[in-house]
Amino acid sequence: MQGKRKLFGTDGVRGQANAWPITPDVIMSLAMAAGSEFIRGDHRHTVVIGKDTRLSGYMVESALTSGFTAVGFHVMRVGPLPTPAVALLTKSLRADLGVMVSASHNPYPDNGIKFFGPDGYKLSDATEQSIEKRMSSDFDLAAFDHIGKAKTLDDATGRYIEFAKSTFPKHLRLDGLKIVVDCAHGAAYKAAPAVLWELGADIIPIGTHPNGTNINDKCGATSLDLAKQTLLEHHADLAIILDGDADRIIMIDSKGRVLDGDKILALTTSHFIKTKRLRGDAVIATHMSNLGLERYLKSIGLNLIRTNIGDRYVIDAMRKLNCNIGGEQSGHIILHDYTTTGDGLIAALQVLAIMQREQKPLFELSHIYENVPQIQHNLRLSSPVNLNDDMIKSMIRKAEEKIGSSGHLLVRASGTEPVLRLMAQGDNKDILDDVLSTLSDYLKARAA
């Protein structure tokens, strides 16, 4: 049985900058361990390092560079660039490893590190565990004449822009569409507006002036008010809202209705069926996806296959089952015909292509199914609780019984921040409210 990872969470390594584990010494050790893990063969090894716009990105990037060059890797820095672009470049440049420096949707004091293998996919749990194990042993440092070099790839953003445009049907244009694009002052602040404008759209960019501290600050995929206000003020056709590293997307139609990841999955899947592009007779999502999506897919003859939280678990199931659509309610949309990880911009382009093919506004296409009531509580407890404790497990079982077999309860520790997440969904909202309130109070008392 595999041991538990201590450093890696749901999506790489994450924490507050200059506090464990996001400190220069740990990061440099992590880079040396990851580099040692991926030294395979006698060729000169290369790592691609991208980042978002956080102030601490300079520190993390420098520590990574020191660690990788120390074990003989050449470092190719690509600067601020979306996470999926780093995955793309890792594969297209035939690099041995890719690294994205980002804490995604978290506020600027946090930072994190995501790894991609040479195939452009996120690392498995087993590989992450092996890297952690290497960190506690001595490294084989490169000889003085084999220390790696570091350079900047100047055309990285341009490469990603051209790739993104190539996923949009060549016979279509975005002329006549007015689009709000919120880049969260993050990694896509150059690429996303450029792609949409070059394809013909009239764009209203917001969140495109990063200063190192304003990433995800009252903007982006976890804060929709600014995008919705801008959409209504400018009478735009829709809004595209990305998060700090642009691997997730939320959309808003011209009526102000929000399309989360589940709604985007439903819309994209229905069109893939219509155009005979769907593979695998299933859509892959996580335990967080709304039961309304599951019921809709069942009504059109498809299964919703659920995985653990995290887009890397979604893509792993997609690869095993040969499915080409998957994602998370939070907005990670993976279209495996194009990408190896969640890509907010590529998902947006597919929705825009559907609009242009159908010659219909988004508000006419977006209302595909009704969501089942779904309630979430995020608990910041005074001390950790053990979810494997027999009494806590008994309380959770009682809550599940009260919700009934037609609903769903999920209790988990967040993999990206120190929070306990509770989610309940079902047809009776009053029961859900009662169940979550009771369970939350119990967990708070246990942590006191």
From the list 29, 36, 56, 104, the catalytic residue is 104
DSSP codes joined into one string, 231-252: HHHTT-SEEEEE-TTSS-EEEE
- Written as six digits, the tokens of 169 are 């049907």
| Helix 344-358 × helix 156-166 angle, to 10° | 30
Question: Pairing state of beta strands 150-152 and 178-182?
Answer: unpaired
Cα–Cα distance, 286 to 412 (Å, whole number): 13
Residues 6+ away with beta carbon under 8 Å from 440: 377, 379, 422
User: CA nearest 352: which of 156, 192, 191?
Assistant: 192
Question: Pairing state of beta strands 303-307 and 408-413?
Answer: unpaired
Give the residue, 174 or 385, on which the prediction is more confident.
Answer: 174
The answer, yes or no, to whether residue 374 has pLDDT greater than 60, is yes
Cα–Cα distance, 36 to 45 (Å, whole number): 10
Grade residue 367 by pLDDT with cuts at 50, 70 and 90: confident
Cα–Cα distance, 133 to 187 (Å, whole number): 31
- Written as six digits, the tokens of 112 are 């994190």
For domain 13-154, say whether CATH 3.90.650.10 is its number: no
Strand partners, 423: 376, 410
User: CA nearest 378: which of 336, 422, 334, 339?
Assistant: 422
- Reduced to 3 states (helix: H, G, I; strand: E, B; else coil), residue 3 is coil
Residue written as tokens 């995985």?
A: 307
* pLDDT tens-digit readout, 189-216: 999 999 999 999 999 999 999 999 999 9
Q: In terms of C-beta density within 10 A (0-12 exposed, 13-18 middle, 19 or more buried), how is residue 42 classed?
A: exposed
Cis peptide leading into 21, omega within 30 of 0? yes
For residues 123-138, average pLDDT: 93
Catalytic annotation on 166?
no
CATH superfamily of this structure's domain 159-365? Alpha-D-Glucose-1,6-Bisphosphate, subunit A, domain 3 (3.40.120.10)
Domain ranges (residues) in the chain: 13-154, 159-365, 374-447
- Written as six digits, the tokens of 179 are 């689009």
CATH superfamily of this structure's domain 374-447? Alpha-D-phosphohexomutase, C-terminal domain (3.30.310.50)
Strands across the sheet containing 282-286: 303-307, 282-286, 325-327, 333-335
Mean pLDDT over the full length of the chain = 95
CA-CA distances (angstroms) from residue 378 to 163, 269, 374, 411? Answer: 38, 30, 13, 10
Residues 355/348, Cβ–Cβ less than 8 Å: no
pLDDT for 4: 62
* pLDDT tens-digit readout, 224-265: 999 999 999 999 999 999 999 999 999 999 999 999 999 999
The answer, yes or no, to whether residue 382 has pLDDT greater than 90, is no
Cα–Cα distance, 240 to 355 (Å, whole number): 14
CA atoms within 13 A on the CB side of 334: 28
DSSP codes joined into one string, 282-329: EEEEETTS-HHHHHHHHHTT-EEEEE-SSHHHHHHHHHHHT-SEEE-T
Question: What torsion, rounded to 10 degrees, do the Cα atoms 425, 426, 432, 436 define?
Answer: -30
CA-CA distances (angstroms) from residue 390 to 226, 396, 401? Answer: 45, 10, 17
Cα–Cα distance, 330 to 308 (Å, whole number): 13
* pLDDT tens-digit readout, 394-413: 999 999 999 998 899 999 88
pLDDT for 2: 44
Please provide residue 343's backbone torsions phi and psi, each rounded to the nearest 5 degrees.
-140, 105
- Written as six digits, the tokens of 324 are 């080409």
Task: Quickly list H helices, 38-177.
Answer: 57-70, 83-92, 125-135, 156-166
Please provide residue 110's backbone torsions phi and psi, each rounded to the nearest 5 degrees.
-85, 160
User: CA nearest 11: which of 324, 388, 286, 318?
Assistant: 286
Cα–Cα distance, 392 to 145 (Å, whole number): 57
CA 98 to chain centroid, in Å, comes to: 16
* pLDDT tens-digit readout, 151-174: 999 999 999 999 999 999 999 999
Q: Do domains 13-154 and 159-365 have the same CATH topology?
A: yes
Grade residue 380 by pLDDT with cuts at 50, 70 and 90: confident
